[in-house]
Amino acid sequence: MKPTVMQLHRDLLLGNTSSVALTEQALAAIACHQEAGERAFTLVDAKAALATARQVDAAGLYPTPLAGIPVSVKDLFDIQGQVTTAGSVAFKRNPRAPRDAAVVATLRAAGAVLLGRTNMSEFACSGLGLNSHYGTPRNPGDPERVAGGSSSGAAVSVALGMSAAALGADTGGSARIPAAFCGLVGFKPTARRVPMQGCLPLSPSLDSIGTLARSVSCCAILDAVLSGGWTPSHARGLPPDVTKRRFYVTDDYLSQHVDSAVAQAFDDALACLSRAGARIIRFDFPELGRIADMEAQGGLAAAEAWRWHGPRLEGEGGACYDPRIAQSLRQGAGLSAVRYLELVEQRRELQAAAAYRLSMADAWLMPTVAILPPKLAELENEDVYAHLNRLVLRNSAVVNLLDGCAVSLPLTDQIGLSVCGLHGRDSHILKIAAGVERALAHP
């Protein structure tokens, strides 16, 4: 069992290890990974990472739990002096970033050791994690399967001990999907809880910062630091209790085409929570049935992505895009302004329905992903790729449409359980998820 952020922090405070030692271990793991031909990272800045580690050790204070801790950063965020390629060769010749993204600057200020940039689906435009330019990070538990996306390299970096935590992004599940597929915890906050400045956009209405780590407490610490709410009280952890909690479960839209192994793991988790004293409440959410029509031609995400990528796709750099990514982005070209406004209104209606139906819920539970990680070989077929990409994104994308928050917890090393809440309920959902995590660990 790899240590959590808080366990590493305590070891640093007790003098049982040093930031330099942790960083050297992380860099050694990355080197072995790369020597094996694997592609979790697109850039490793060993010199800068070790310099930061030495500086933190020299101060000897470790004022936050992230001080001296090795963290990876998705190749979607600006890091001063580096080129943000977003997993694409189209941007390789772009200017170097003049400053850090807001969240990267916050991590630096907290003393985190930034190891380098992690691989991802090109422009964060897929839930599968494939990358035809830099190579596809493979599932740590089964190299014939995907690691999930778009934050594929981020998940692999944590799962294989190359970082203690990872900074990702989440527009439709990009942090939670790879967390579920790689046996990790992933957190998607309410959009705008964490500033997006310096993060390459995909869909500004849906984009949010995501984090991946080994425990709920790790993600809670990251959230507290990144959202500007860190205080020493966070070091005491989250109260883990599910007794009398009301967990809502819907058997309609989110339960369609669910793999039998996923369904069994989800049912087993519900039974475990019930034994721990939680109340499992089945409810209907028929409004979710409208999402399929909303997502035709790519929905809000495609419309907003086209506004940014359209000029680039139509220009000289368009030939550099992966054809599958380009095809997905081009869906937005056919959406009129009227249709876009209709989608915005339909989203508001869906959010109002969710506020009504979930008003008495402590949390809404669902499988993070309806299926097991697909095999790489089957994704060579374009129709299969498109179908499985939609299915992988389906459950998690609902939370983005609602502008909610969610924590994905591992049920197995490839299946996740999502603990979801409405807009602004982030701290509450993190506490609930900590209780669920404990209950599942002690059935």
Residues marked active site are found at 74, 150, 174
Q: Which helix (H) or strand (E) holds 213?
A: strand 209-213
Cα dihedral 400, 331, 252, 353 sign? positive
Pairing state between β 209-213 and 165-169: antiparallel
Cis peptide before 174 (omega within 30 of 0): no
Q: How many CB atoms lie within 10 A of CB 226?
A: 22
Nearest to 417 by CA among 251, 267, 285, 218: 267
- How far apart are alpha carbons 218 and 428 in whole angstroms? 15
Q: CA 237, 68, 10, 166: dihedral to nearest 10 degrees?
A: 40
**Angle of CA points 170, 172, 174, to nearest 5°:** 45
- How far apart are alpha carbons 379 and 54 in whole angstroms? 44
- How far apart are alpha carbons 255 and 251 in whole angstroms? 5
Nearest to 149 by CA among 380, 396, 381, 317: 396
